[in-house]
């Protein structure tokens, strides 16, 4: 689940599995049902997470904006007007060159802004700072985020954002780092401060996801007592698969997230609150 580019980065796509503990009293067997190791509120620690090393490639030149690392690729006019795009969470994208080192992007769906991003390249051209705001569909609370990228290839022609980049650091507002999970029987519920939520069974069947422009359904599969697999779709197309594992001490959650569109694999770490 992915930030808009990071498709989004689906950081809070972390969900519980069920664990049963049994205990026996003298001469009278009694089964005690303990919390799932996934149950509770978790906070993603972005400083401990590892982002995909695959290049992110942009070009802003001669009035055109191209993103060849996007899936599908984006090739539109960069005149500040809403341009149609396909296969994305947004259906239009407006790109404007602010100055030779800066660009502004605004993504919309059905005429409504769902995220906006300002990219600025350092004077030496070696790093790029991106400051953005996302507007979740089920929340009045926007999500703010900042990303730092390093240049890994020769600069392209045109605006300084052109070229190949690799993500180095990501920070997000607190409301997008928290998620609360609860399992009841063979059913899992998840909720977050931004309105991202779903309830699904561990039966591999698609269930609706609310509060996300990037995906609209999820299916869950239990691997073992401490591991589950979550598969996310949009319009019936598989977008992302997350393998989520809780440590044996129940304090740490590791999420290996694979984008099925771009092949980018990132690993996120969360701690129980």
Residue 178 contacts by C-beta under 8 Å, 6 or more apart in sequence?
A: 12, 41, 42, 43, 44, 192, 193, 273
- Give how far the C-alpha of residue 266 lies from the chain's centroid of Cα atoms, to the nearest Å: 10
Residues 248 and 144 in one domain: no
CATH number assigned to the domain comprising residue 259: 2.40.128.20
Q: Are residues 155 and 199 in the same domain?
A: no
Helices (H) and strands (E) in the chain, counts: 0, 22
- Tell me what pLDDT residue 33 has: 52
The verdict on residue 1 lying in a domain is no
pLDDT tens track for 69-87: 999 999 999 999 999 999 9
Residues 62 and 169 grouped into a single domain: yes
pLDDT tens-digit map of 256-269: 999 999 999 999 99
Q: Averaged over 120-130, what is the pLDDT? A: 98
**What is the domain count for the chain?**
2
Same domain, 168 and 219: no
- Shared-domain flag, residues 227 and 118: no
pTM comes to 0.85
In whole angstroms, what separates CA 154 from the centre of its chain?
A: 28
Residue where a domain terminates, one of 174, 197, 213: 174
Question: What pLDDT is recorded for position 32?
Answer: 45
Range of the domain at 142: 56-174
- Distance (Å, rounded) from C-alpha 13 to C-alpha 3? 11
For residue 183, what pLDDT is reported? 87
Q: Is 176 helix (H, G, I), strand (E, B) or coil?
A: helix
Verify that 220 and 267 share a domain, yes or no: yes
Question: Are residue 152 and residue 195 in the same domain, yes or no?
Answer: no
Among residues 118, 145, 174, the one where a domain terminates is 174
> Residue 26 falls within a domain, yes or no?
no
> What distance in Å separates the CA atoms of residue 124 and residue 85, rounded to the nearest whole number?
32
Tens digits of residue pLDDT in 199-245: 999 999 999 999 999 999 999 999 998 999 999 999 999 999 999 99
Average pLDDT value for the chain: 88
Q: Is the dihedral of CA 68, 127, 259, 142 positive or negative?
A: negative
Average the pLDDT over each of 32-46, 140-154, 187-201 and give the range with the smallest value: 32-46
Please check whether residues 77 and 212 belong to one and the same domain: no
Alpha helices of the chain — where are they, by DSSP H? none
In a domain, 20, yes or no: no
Among 174, 204, 222, give the residue marking a domain's end. Answer: 174
Q: Is the domain of 94 the same as that of 164?
A: yes
């Amino acid at each position: 689940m992915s930030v808009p580019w990071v498709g989004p980065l689906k950081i809070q796509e972390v969900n519980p599995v069920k664990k049963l503990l049994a205990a026996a009293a003298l001469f009278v067997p009694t089964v005690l049902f303990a919390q799932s190791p996934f149950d509770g509120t978790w906070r993603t620690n972005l400083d401990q997470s590892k982002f995909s090393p695959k290049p992110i490639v942009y070009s802003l030149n001669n009035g055109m904006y191209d993103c060849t690392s996007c899936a599908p690729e984006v090739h539109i006019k960069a005149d500040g007007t809403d341009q149609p795009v396909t296969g994305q969470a947004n259906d239009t994208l407006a790109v404007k060159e602010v100055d030779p080192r800066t660009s502004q992007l605004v993504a919309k769906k059905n005429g409504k802004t769902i995220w906006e991003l300002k990219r600025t390249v350092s004077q030496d051209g070696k790093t790029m700072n991106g400051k953005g705001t996302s507007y979740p569909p089920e929340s009045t609370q926007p999500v703010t985020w900042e990303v730092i990228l390093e240049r890994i290839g020769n600069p392209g022609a045109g605006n300084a954002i052109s070229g190949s980049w690799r993500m180095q650091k990501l920070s997000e507002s607190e409301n997008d780092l928290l998620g609360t999970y609860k399992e009841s029987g063979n059913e899992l519920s998840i909720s977050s401060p931004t309105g991202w939520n779903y309830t699904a069974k561990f039966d591999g069947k698609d269930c609706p996801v609310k509060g996300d422009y990037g995906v609209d359904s999820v299916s869950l599969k239990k691997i073992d007592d401490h591991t589950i697999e979550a598969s996310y779709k949009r319009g019936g197309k598989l977008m992302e698969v997350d393998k989520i594992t809780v440590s044996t001490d129940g304090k740490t959650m590791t999420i290996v997230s694979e984008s099925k569109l771009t092949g980018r694999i990132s690993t996120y770490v969360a701690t129980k609150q």
